[in-house]
Amino acid sequence: MTHEIERSITAGLTPRKLEHLIREHASVDQIALAYRTDGSVVKMLMARWGLAHLSGRAKSNVVLVRNCE
């Protein structure tokens, strides 16, 4: 698994690029295909780089807070 992570990073998958792809609504499978890796590797990198909250189920756990004065 570590080899696949290194290969993805070497292919250009950086935290900034991954965040951009997620915000542009690319699916985990699309990202994995583009960087010739597995969806589980992409999910691991999302968690490692703190981006898991931007996609999927984790997104529904976001709580909005308003300023109340």
The tens digit of pLDDT for each residue in 6-23 reads 888 888 999 999 999 999
Q: Could you state, in order of their start, the residue ranges of all structural domains in the chain?
A: 2-53
Confidence at residue 69, expressed as pLDDT on a 0 to 100 scale = 58
Give long-range contacts, CB 8 A cutoff, 24+ apart: 34-38.
Answer: 35/8, 35/11, 36/7, 36/8, 36/11, 37/4, 37/7, 37/8, 37/13, 38/4
pTM: 0.73
Question: Is pLDDT at 1 greater than 80 in this prediction?
Answer: no
pLDDT digits (tens, 9 = 90+) for 23-51: 998 999 999 999 989 999 999 999 999 99
Q: How confident is the model at residue 55 (pLDDT cuts 50, 70, 90)?
A: confident
